[in-house]
Amino acid sequence: MEALGNLSRKEQVIRSAAELFREKGYAASSMRDLAQKLGIEAASLYSHIKSKEEILQSLCFDMATEFRKSLAEVESKNYTATEKLRFGIIGHIQVMAKDLTASAVFMNEHRHLSQPFLRDFLLLRINYINRFKAIIEEGASKGEFKDTIDKKLAVMTLFSSLNWMPMWYDPSSKIDPAELGQQLADMLVNGLKKG
């Protein structure tokens, strides 16, 4: 993680806003709160950003871009469905781990986007989810995965686990993001049961 000093003023504003939005939620965070965090007056924020929502937009869409890049790379390889799922999970976790704060905002605050941004965001998300669902379906049809589990349930369980990670993962813990991804993939593919 870089020091704030290495970031442009606009990037500092966005990063501070991300922390604020994560802590208090977007709607409960005021521009005066944000200004205070940065040691300036609220009106001064508007020389760096156009509006409060513009900050949310860049946080949400920048994360979305990273997730899509990661998944596209996994899809481009000649992997089995099991491998695609495993590396897809690891990639998703690593993208989140690069910015846990932005990840938490991405997950919890995107609903405060106004139209047409909200619609665009949800389309990106459903596309991403469907590509993971396709991997699970491929695995089921090729006999790698059970065919008995409901595919929607499987993919939503996967997503729930991935998306809540920023809420409890401690980046200073012994388990690093790559290993976290490995273990999460293992748990979802192989389950808790011994054997």
CB 112 within 8 A of CB 162: no
By the rule CB under 7 A, 19 interacts with DNA: no
Residue 43 binding result from a second copy, DNA, none, given CB thresholds of 5 to 8 Å by partner type? DNA
Count other C-beta atoms under 10 Å from residue 85's C-beta: 23
CB of 185 to a second copy, least distance (A): 10
CB of 7 to a second copy, least distance (A): 27
Got the DSSP string for 8-67?
-HHHHHHHHHHHHHHHH-TTT--HHHHHHHHTS-GGGGGGT-S-HHHHHHHHHHHHHHHH
Residues 33-52 that bind DNA (CB under 7 A): 33, 35, 38, 40-44, 46-48, 50-52
Those residues with Cβ within 8 angstroms of residue 140's Cβ, 6 or more apart along the chain or in another chain = 146, 147, 149, 151
Structure tokens at 15: 């990063």
By the rule CB under 8 A, 183 interacts with a second copy: yes
By the rule CB under 8 A, 108 interacts with a second copy: yes
Identity of residue 23: E
Q: Which of these ranges, 44-52, 95-103, 115-123, 159-167, lies near a second copy under the rule CB under 8 A? A: 159-167
By the rule CB under 7 A, 142 interacts with DNA: no
CB of 60 to a second copy, least distance (A): 15
CB of 119 to DNA, least distance (A): 19
By the rule CB under 7 A, 188 interacts with DNA: no
By the rule CB under 8 A, 163 interacts with a second copy: yes
CB 139 within 8 A of CB 88: no
Residue in this structure with the two tokens 């860049």, named with its chain if needed: 58
CB 99 within 8 A of CB 63: yes
By the rule CB under 8 A, 175 interacts with a second copy: yes
**How far, in Å, CA of 15 to CA of 22, rounded?**
11
Residues that bind DNA (CB under 7 A): 9, 29-33, 35, 38, 40-44, 46-48, 50-53
